[in-house]
Amino acid sequence: MSIEYVLVSEGEQDEPIELPTEEDGSLLLSTVAAQFAGASGLKYRSGGRLRGLRLTDEHVLPPADGWAANRYFCAFPRADSTALMPRPRCSDLIVLGLPWKTGEEAVRDYFAAFGELLMVQVKRDMKTGLSKGFGFIKFADYEAQMRALGRRHMIDGRWCDVRIPNSKDGSSANHRKVFVGRCTESLTADDLREYFGAFGQVTDVFVPKPFRAFSFVTFLDPEVAQSLCGQDHIIKGVSVNISSASPKRERGTRSQLVGWGLVDSTARVYSWPPDAWHHSNHSTHPHTAAVPDTKPYLKYE
Residue 246 pLDDT class (50, 70, 90 cuts): low
Average pLDDT rounded to a whole number, residues 18-41: 89
Measured in degrees and rounded to the nearest 5, phi and psi for residue 283 equal -65, -30
Residues 286, 292, 298, 301: what is their CA dihedral angle, to the nearest 10 degrees?
-100
Radius of gyration of the chain (CA): 31
Query: How far apart (Å, rounded) are the C-alpha atoms in residues 220 and 114?
Result: 14
Torsion sign, CA atoms 166, 169, 173, 177 = negative
Residues 263 and 290 sit within 8 Å (Cβ to Cβ) = no
Cα 182 → chain centroid: 26
pLDDT of residue 230: 81
Considering 105-114, 144-153, 172-181, the range whose residues carry the highest mean pLDDT is 105-114
pLDDT of residue 87: 61
Helix (H, G, I), strand (E, B) or coil at 223: helix
Residues 51 and 45 sit within 8 Å (Cβ to Cβ) = yes
- Whole-prediction pTM: 0.36
Could you tell me whether strands 296-300 and 246-247 are parallel, antiparallel, or unpaired per DSSP bridges? antiparallel
How many Cα neighbours within 13 Å face the side chain of 129? Answer: 0
Per residue in 46-56, pLDDT (tens digit) is 887 888 899 88
**Strand order of the sheet with strand 72-75?**
17-20, 5-9, 72-75, 41-46, 49-52
What single DSSP character describes residue 274? G
Tell me which H or E stretch contains 105. Answer: helix 104-111
Query: How far apart (Å, rounded) are the C-alpha atoms in residues 30 and 32?
Result: 5
Per residue in 255-288, pLDDT (tens digit) is 333 333 333 333 444 444 444 444 444 444 444 4
